[in-house]
Amino acid sequence: MNLSPDQVIMFQIWDIPINATIFYTWIVMAVLSVGAILITRNLRPDVPPNRWRTTLEVIVQGIQGQIEEVAGRPNRQLLYYAGTLFLFVAMSNLMLVIPGFEPPTASLSTTTALALSVLIAVPLFGITSRGLGGYLKTYIQPSFIMLPFNIISEFSRGISLAIRLYGNIMSGAVIAAILLSVAPFFFPVVMDVLGLLTGMIQAYIFAILATVYISSATAPPPQSQPERDIT
């Protein structure tokens, strides 16, 4: 049993080894890209929506509603980013039902890359929303002594995201392997259903955490209340 798809070399391109993580990541990207093109190819007001378009619209509206609930305001750029994270992680986990497919999220390199993207997106969204000076001020709030702690907090967020996602996916894979060795005819169906459920939950949690971190960086600074004249 390979604990990570990084250990499996699928083929080589110009003497560059392509492991299973990269290969299955390309598959997920291709499925999402081709699916989006096929579903939206007749996106016109005079064309009634089909089942796939309706499903996609429900997903997008659900993600948008969650973002507005967390951030307290609509944010189209955050919808694009958090929605992409959710769809990638969800599709990677949903494709577990395909025999022989190894989810790229089962690799620490993939989860680290996703966490690093969030770590980079937080200051980018913050600078875009508040400006460079306004965003840097958040590191010395409520006082300058909090600067090192706020910097450590930023990096710990990325580490926790990567470890949480990788740990949950890998723990499910290890438990499934143990159960399959005990009862190979009964547990596959149960583990497939459980894997789909936990995969969707992990995609939701990852996207929500990214939304929370970015929303906190883009939130408008609190307005100071004017002092009342008591005389």
Condensed to tens digits (0 to 9), the pLDDT of residues 197-225 reads: 777 888 888 888 888 888 887 776 655 44
Structure tokens at 4: 């990570």
Tell me if residue 9 falls in helix, strand or coil.
strand
In a domain, 194, yes or no: yes
Tens digit of pLDDT for each residue in 166-185? 666 655 555 555 655 655 55
CB 91 within 8 A of CB 31: yes
Range of the domain at 170: 6-218
Q: Which one, of 153, 188, 191, 187, lies nearest residue 171 by Cα? A: 191
The total domain count for the chain is: 1
Q: Which one, of 94, 78, 112, 101, lies nearest residue 195 by Cα? A: 94
Structure tokens at 147: 């600067």
Tens digit of pLDDT for each residue in 119-133? 888 888 888 888 888
In a domain, 227, yes or no: no
Neighbouring residues of 41: CB distance < 8 A, sequence distance ≥ 6: none
In a domain, 228, yes or no: no
In a domain, 167, yes or no: yes
In a domain, 76, yes or no: yes
In a domain, 126, yes or no: yes
In a domain, 103, yes or no: yes
The predicted model scores a pTM of: 0.78
